Amino acid sequence: MAKTSCFTASIDVKLADKLKQDLLSQGFELSQPPYTIFAGKKKGVSCALYESGKLTVQGKEMDAFIEFYLEPEILQEFQFSHPEAHLDVRSHIGMDEAGKGDFFGPLSIAAVYADSAGIVEMQKMGVKDSKKLGDEAIIKIAYKIRSAFPFTLIRLFPQKYNELHAKFKNLNRLMAWAHTAALSDLSQKTGCKEAVLDQFANPALMESFLKQKKLDVHLEQKVRGEEDLVVAAASIVARAGFVEGMKTLSEEFGFELPKGANSQVIKAARKIIATHGKEALGRAVKTHFKTMLEL
């Protein structure tokens, strides 16, 4: 069962009377704090129904209250007690990238494959959108994913990235090429013909690259694609690839290179110019960024 300190759900306020009567019959004491329709409390469980329809539940005994009353009687769904029932558990490949907005470091493209059992296992591992995880957690979970699931990682360090960007003359075209290469490789390794991509451009762009490659895969492109657990796993593998790539470059240049594209990266780039010469920048940064104009 999922473990959380406070459970939140949204309900139709028309259910307020039923919820109120049910709580009274279960021995809850009711009150009406500001902005609530009512709040209920008994040993081990407290809950509040707000005027917006937001319902919160907390307390040591809340698991049983949610699983045996709230879900079947009020919510009519079982996302808390049986979250695996809400997963997209069809076997598929998930894809995402990291590093495209960072002046320093590689562009990291990842594809990960999981079948139904694997997707349930990913949830137990704590897989989630990489943006919700710190770098330390990213590295740990990425290690678990890479050990347990087929994956392809394409890392374009700045020197190669800059060559390819000059060829494609457009970041989205470069990313479409890299995603297609990763998908082709993992589809061949696994035989999987279903994939979900965190959408980064007009869907027609990826479709055109798949046709050029003659890649027979059904690709779903989703905004906020990391809501799909396999895409989230790919986002973690991609981010780990970026973080590890930044560490490699930092060691090469003798100091820790900053992430992002802010004032700190300008200072760091000027330091590289001062110690290694301007031509060394091509090994460290994405030279098409407007940041170059500030150096």
Greatest extent of the chain over all pairs of C-alpha atoms, in Å: 77
The arithmetic mean of pLDDT across residues 119-141, rounded, is 90
Q: Left, alpha or beta for 206 (phi > 0: left; psi -120 to 50: alpha)?
A: alpha
User: Which superfamily is assigned to 6-85 in CATH?
Assistant: TATA-Binding Protein (3.30.310.10)
User: What is the per-residue pLDDT for 131?
Assistant: 86
pLDDT band of 4, cuts 50, 70, 90 = low
**Dihedral sign from CA coordinates of 229, 58, 13, 52:** negative
Residue 134: partners with Cβ closer than 8 Å, 6 or more residues away = none
What is the distance in angstroms between the CA of the first residue and the CA of the last residue of the chain?
53
Give tens-digit pLDDT for 192-215: 999 999 999 999 999 999 999 999
Give tens-digit pLDDT for 153-195: 999 999 999 999 999 999 999 999 999 999 999 999 999 999 9
User: What is the per-residue pLDDT for 84?
Assistant: 54
d(CA 185, CA 18): 55
Give tens-digit pLDDT for 27-66: 999 999 999 999 999 999 999 999 999 999 999 999 999 9
Give tens-digit pLDDT for 67-86: 889 988 998 877 776 665 55
Per DSSP, the residues of 228-289 read SHHHHHHHHHHHHHHHHHHHHHHHHHTSPPPPSSSHHHHHHHHHHHHHH-GGGGGGTB-TTS
Pairing, β 45-50 against β 54-58: antiparallel
User: What is the per-residue pLDDT for 224?
Assistant: 86
Which range has the worst mean pLDDT, 2-6, 15-19, 53-57, 92-96?
2-6
Residue 231 has pLDDT above 60, yes or no: yes
Domain made up of 92-248: CATH architecture: 2-Layer Sandwich (3.30)
The arithmetic mean of pLDDT across residues 243-250, rounded, is 97
Residue 235 has pLDDT above 60, yes or no: yes
Q: Please report, rounded to a whole number, the percentage of residues in the chain having pLDDT higher than 90.
A: 81
The arithmetic mean of pLDDT across residues 262-269, rounded, is 93
User: What is the per-residue pLDDT for 83?
Assistant: 64
Per the model's pLDDT, the better-predicted residue between 146 and 9 turns out to be 146
Residue 1 has pLDDT above 60, yes or no: no
Residue 2 has pLDDT above 50, yes or no: no
The arithmetic mean of pLDDT across residues 90-99, rounded, is 96
Look at residues 27, 23, 24 and name the one whose alpha carbon lies nearest to residue 57.
23
Structure tokens at 150: 């087929």
User: What is the per-residue pLDDT for 186?
Assistant: 98
Per the model's pLDDT, the better-predicted residue between 126 and 34 turns out to be 34
Q: Where are the domains of the chain?
A: 6-85, 92-248, 253-294
